[in-house]
Amino acid sequence: MNVTFVDITLPLWLVISQWALLFALGFLVITMYRQLGFMLGLKDLGTERDGLPIGEKAPTFDYIPTNRSTSRSVHFEPKGLWTLLVFADPGCVSCQSTMISLERLAPTLKQTMRVLILTSAVPAQIAAVDAFRTTSLDIGRIDDDVSNKLYHTHTTPFAYLINTEGMIQSKGIATDESAIRKIVHKVNRSVIRVESIASRQKVRG
């Protein structure tokens, strides 16, 4: 059996195969668009859209220290000190790089703030990764609800900078030293501003 279009006669099998190819290409295009949408959705994670909004009060929570002499639960209270909270997990390769970067920055960071690494990993997983096992920074084990429900954070490594009043000042993915410096730069600006005000008060006095 042949199919005739104008004056061109094509075998039926060729017509069927062309239509099948057309449907296959259409399906491929739809799949590619869905994948693109998925990738763009992932790109939004870890940006300003992820986590609690800047300016919101940081929630309190309990955590268990993993690299300190005590294993008793500790209550985190965001007020009083500048705080850098970093959500990270040992199984995340980027998080391991974050830990190395934080360790290099630790002498500077500790002068103006406390740094707390938060993870939901079990002790065995923490101990199995050098960057986590050997760090001088405090690591706290938390329930998944702390990151997912309290802080609305679904990607790691992710950091929050919290001021002395317990308000979130900045946030973002903390994959390397540059990203961490970008998140914590508001501390230095605030300290300089406070020192400037204090100096002016002394002069007036």
Q: What is the pLDDT of residues 15-58, one digit of tens each?
A: 677 777 877 777 677 666 555 554 444 444 445 567 899 999 99
CA pair distance 17, 2, nearest whole angstrom: 14
Q: Tell which wins on pLDDT, 9 or 115.
A: 115
Name the nearest CA neighbour of 89 among 137, 131, 54, 136.
Answer: 131
Q: Tell me the pTM.
A: 0.69
Tens of pLDDT, residues 80-125:
889 999 999 999 899 999 999 999 999 988 888 999 999 999 999 9
Residue of 151, 154, 156, 144 lying closest to 83 (CA atoms): 151
Q: Which residues contact 112 (CB under 8 A, 6 or more apart)?
A: 82, 187, 188, 191
Q: What pLDDT, on a 0 to 100 scale, did the predictor assign at position 200? A: 43
- The CB density around residue 37, as the number of other CB atoms within 10 Å, is 10
Per residue in 55-80, pLDDT tens?
A: 999 999 999 999 777 678 999 998 88
Query: What pLDDT, in 10s, does the model give residues 147-190?
Result: 999 999 988 999 999 999 999 999 999 999 999 999 998 775 55
pLDDT value of position 43: 46
Peptide bond into 157 cis (omega under 30): yes
Torsion over CA: 47, 55, 84, 60 (sign): negative
* Rama region for 172: left / alpha / beta (φ>0; ψ in -120 to 50; rest): left
Mean pLDDT, to the nearest integer, of 129-142?
A: 93
Mean pLDDT of 126-148: 93
